[in-house]
């Protein structure tokens, strides 16, 4: 997969996207769109999509297939998805008509304080790269607990059976593509300093060659043992002890000059971990119910608030620039409120109901001029006193790694899963558990690393014992009169809510079909002075948006000029579902249907 996408191809894909019912997708070929019956899946990877399809064809449901796909991504996309990470999942249950979530976000060890990332010698936060490649950055992994909770609540197959496709891929190997090579290459210097990471991901001291076969027998053995022993092996058992030891004593080459700080995780932290099932966020937009991931993720609240603001603005749908202006201004305001108010609700007072209220959105919308962008950053509103004011002080948008992954699955019964899984950075903390074949996350760098100065507004995203860092992941399911219509999500760190928003607006307001809505060039406004965009978006809209006061510049990445790598699905009519992956970004994704339509 190319790290620098040729966006002329994206533009061509949009122009040529008369894809309502495309040619059938074969399970042995990568294709970005699949339409058919009996269920469908879209992921970033063909092997992962095949794993899900295998489960669906065998009578498994959407949750079963999502777990099988995620486990396979842990093999083929090990730098972004692994059992050393976590994520958020939104599920629609066709039997009950309910939308529910499973929160597998990592937690900070109990010994974590708000100055966990402050260098005592300087009183300042550690340089970001030093914080990432350390035991300090590793949160208690949530993925296995999330799989276990999701399967117990909604699945129909045991975890061990769902790990079999991933075990086969790990043993037999898969063909290294450009994206895998590049992700290893960008990490080569730090991977070389971590002994088990170097051994696994830099064979012969170099990133795996494109076209070579990559095998991970250690991970296959780990999955087998996990299938036999169950999740308690990680959460308080022997594997948990190995994870805690890796965090406390990072396996650094004694000859390396790199200082890799130890973390504070213990086996007791792992034993205390629980995946949660909080109620999803929900807003109404254009007669549809839009459900998302609640705090500790800011994805559902940010998408929901922005949609409410856009609804209050009522831009002229016949004018794409007017819709984009409303989208950018609504995003700006929603991010100001996200940064000020959203954190882990177990430890912070998050005014979620107020943030998602129509009254609050109307007060924020009155700050948007129809022909002039407000200078950014804008101040947050006051959910306790909604109105046409912005009395607060703007908080910055902390850096979040772009390197997540997202998948969607629907089954024959109409159950749906939208699932973000992540390590945070490409390669997470860089720490591989010796002999186990998987990397550990660096999710704790999603916290605000520097505590605020005395007298400054409270930051709800400071580190704390057992706390979940704020995320932007936004797996989203949209219902139409109680039945699923869309599911969508993407990687991209803090750009995730804007990408989900733009895909929804492309589909619902600008009249694109779903493949075109997903392929269209993107822009992101996260309460920053500039709007960042992909090259094709700049070529098409920069001059027109500049006339409205928007300063549009190329998205710096990584990868430069590329925002997200989305997956989505749409029910075209009862039983007929269309799954959509990226046609070009990051090398393109893979969509498959159980019984392809002809």
Give the model's pLDDT for residue 396.
Answer: 63
The answer to whether 88 touches 295, Cβ cutoff 8 Å, is no
> Which carries the bigger pLDDT value, residue 337 or residue 393?
337
Residues 154-184: pLDDT tens digits? 999 999 999 999 999 999 999 999 999 999 9
Give percent of the chain with pLDDT exceeding 70: 93
Catalytic residue, candidates 404, 405, 498, 499: 404
Give percent of the chain with pLDDT exceeding 90: 89
> Which carries the bigger pLDDT value, residue 588 or residue 18?
588
Residues 212-261: pLDDT tens digits? 999 999 999 999 999 999 999 999 999 999 999 999 999 999 999 999 99
The answer to whether 405 touches 420, Cβ cutoff 8 Å, is yes
With 60 as the cut, is the pLDDT of residue 104 above it?
yes
Give the model's pLDDT for residue 18.
Answer: 28
Give the model's pLDDT for residue 8.
Answer: 34
Give the model's pLDDT for residue 402.
Answer: 57
For residue 120, being part of any structural domain is answered with yes
Residues 179-213: pLDDT tens digits? 999 999 999 999 999 999 999 999 999 999 999 99
The verdict on whether 404 is a catalytic residue reads yes
Residues 313-335: pLDDT tens digits? 999 999 999 999 999 999 999 99
Give the model's pLDDT for residue 283.
Answer: 98
Give the model's pLDDT for residue 3.
Answer: 30
Give the model's pLDDT for residue 151.
Answer: 98
CATH code of the domain containing 17 = 3.60.20.40
With 50 as the cut, is the pLDDT of residue 14 above it?
no
Give the model's pLDDT for residue 557.
Answer: 85
Q: Which residues, including other chains, have CB under 8 Å from residue 202's CB and lie 6 or more apart?
A: 184, 188, 191, 192
Give the model's pLDDT for residue 594.
Answer: 98
Residues 38-53: pLDDT tens digits? 999 999 999 999 999 9
Residues 549-596: pLDDT tens digits? 999 999 998 888 999 999 999 999 999 999 999 999 989 999 999 999
With tokens 């027109």, the residue in question is: 544
The answer to whether 402 touches 558, Cβ cutoff 8 Å, is yes
For residue 61, being part of any structural domain is answered with yes
Residues 424-463: pLDDT tens digits? 999 999 999 999 999 999 999 999 999 999 988 999 999 9
CA distances (Å), 246 to each of 138, 188, 195, 256, 431, in order?
A: 10, 20, 11, 17, 7
With 60 as the cut, is the pLDDT of residue 91 above it?
yes
How many domains are contained in the chain? 1
What domain range includes position 179?
7-277+399-596
**For range 517-544, the mean pLDDT:** 97
Q: How many CA atoms lie within 13 A of 208 on its CB side?
A: 23
For residue 17, being part of any structural domain is answered with yes
Extended strands (E) in 120-172:
124-125
Confidence of residue 30 (pLDDT cuts 50, 70, 90): confident
For residue 322, being part of any structural domain is answered with no
Residues 330-384: pLDDT tens digits? 999 999 999 999 999 999 999 999 999 999 999 999 999 988 999 999 999 999 9
3 state SS of 497: helix
Terminus-to-terminus CA distance in the chain, angstroms?
29
Q: Which residues, including other chains, have CB under 8 Å from residue 102's CB and lie 6 or more apart?
A: 88, 89, 91, 146, 149, 150, 153, 275, 276, 277
**Backbone phi and psi for residue 515, each to the nearest 5 degrees, phi listed first:** -60, -40
In this structure, of 103-107, 344-348, 394-398, 488-492, the range with the lowest mean pLDDT score is 394-398
Confidence of residue 9 (pLDDT cuts 50, 70, 90): very low
For residue 311, being part of any structural domain is answered with no
Give the model's pLDDT for residue 391.
Answer: 59
Q: In sequence order, what DSSP letters do the residues of 523-580 get, joined into one string?
A: EE-SSSSSEEE-HHHHHHHHHHHHTTT--EEE---SSTT-----EEEEEEETTEEEEE
Give the model's pLDDT for residue 559.
Answer: 84
The average confidence (pLDDT) of the chain is: 93
């Amino acid at each position: 997969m190319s790290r620098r996408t040729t966006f002329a191809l994206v533009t061509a894909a949009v122009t040529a996207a008369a894809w309502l019912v495309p040619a059938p997708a074969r399970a042995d070929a990568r294709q970005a769109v699949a339409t058919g019956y009996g269920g469908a899946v879209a992921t970033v990877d063909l092997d992962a999509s095949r794993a899900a399809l295998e489960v669906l064809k065998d009578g498994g449901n959407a949750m079963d297939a999502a777990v099988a796909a995620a486990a396979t991504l842990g093999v083929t996309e090990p730098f972004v998805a692994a059992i050393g990470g976590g994520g958020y999942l939104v599920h629609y249950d066709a039997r009950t008509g309910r939308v529910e979530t499973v929160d597998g976000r990592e937690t900070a060890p109990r010994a974590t304080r708000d100055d966990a990332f402050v260098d005592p010698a300087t009183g300042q936060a550690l340089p970001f790269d030093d914080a990432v490649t350390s035991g300090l950055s590793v949160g208690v992994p949530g993925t296995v607990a999330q799989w276990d909770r999701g399967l117990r609540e909604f699945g129909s197959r045991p975890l061990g059976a769902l790990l079999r496709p991933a075990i086969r891929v790990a043993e037999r190997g898969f063909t290294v593509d450009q994206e895998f090579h590049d992700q290893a290459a960008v990490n080569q210097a730090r991977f070389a300093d971590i002994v088990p990471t170097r051994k696994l991901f830099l064979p012969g001291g170099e990133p795996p060659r494109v076209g070579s076969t990559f095998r991970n027998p250690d991970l296959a053995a780990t999955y087998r043992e996990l299938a036999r022993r169950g999740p308690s092996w990680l959460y308080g058992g022997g594997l948990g002890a190995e994870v805690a030891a890796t965090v406390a004593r990072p396996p650094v080459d004694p000859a390396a000059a790199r200082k890799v700080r130890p973390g504070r995780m213990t086996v007791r932290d792992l034993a205390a971990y629980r995946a949660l099932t909080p109620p999803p966020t929900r807003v109404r937009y254009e007669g549809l119910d839009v459900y998302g991931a609640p705090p500790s993720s800011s994805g559902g609240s940010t998408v929901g608030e922005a949609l409410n603001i856009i609804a209050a603005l009522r831009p002229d749908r016949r004018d794409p620039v007017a819709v984009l202006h409303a989208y950018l201004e609504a995003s700006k305001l929603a991010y100001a409120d996200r940064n000020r108010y959203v954190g882990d609700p177990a430890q912070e007072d998050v005014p979620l109901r107020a943030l998602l209220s129509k009254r609050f959105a109307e007060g924020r919308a009155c700050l948007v001029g129809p022909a002039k962008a407000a200078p950014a950053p804008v101040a947050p509103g006051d959910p306790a006193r909604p109105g046409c004011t912005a009395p607060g002080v703007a908080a910055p948008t902390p850096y979040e790694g772009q390197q997540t992954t997202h998948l969607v699955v629907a089954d024959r019964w109409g159950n749906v899963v939208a699932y973000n899984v992540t390590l945070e950075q490409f390669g997470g903390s860089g720490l591989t558990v010796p002999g186990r074949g998987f990397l550990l996350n660096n999710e704790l760098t999603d916290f605000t690393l520097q505590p605020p100065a005395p007298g400054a507004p409270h930051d709800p995203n400071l580190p704390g014992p057992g706390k979940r860092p704020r995320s932007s992941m936004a797996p989203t399911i949209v219902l139409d009169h109680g039945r699923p219509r869309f599911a969508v999500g993407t990687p991209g760190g803090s750009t995730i809510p804007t990408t989900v928003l733009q895909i929804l607006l492309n589909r619902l307001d600008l009249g694109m079909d779903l493949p075109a809505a997903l392929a269209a060039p993107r822009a992101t406004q996260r309460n920053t002075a500039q709007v960042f965009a992909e090259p094709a978006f700049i070529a098409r809209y920069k001059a027109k948006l500049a006339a409205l006061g928007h300063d549009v510049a190329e998205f710096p990445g990584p990868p430069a000029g590329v925002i997200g790598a989305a997956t989505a699905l749409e029910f075209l009519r009862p039983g007929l579902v269309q799954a959509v992956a990226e046609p070009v970004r990051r090398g393109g994704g893979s969509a498959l249907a159980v019984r392809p339509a002809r």
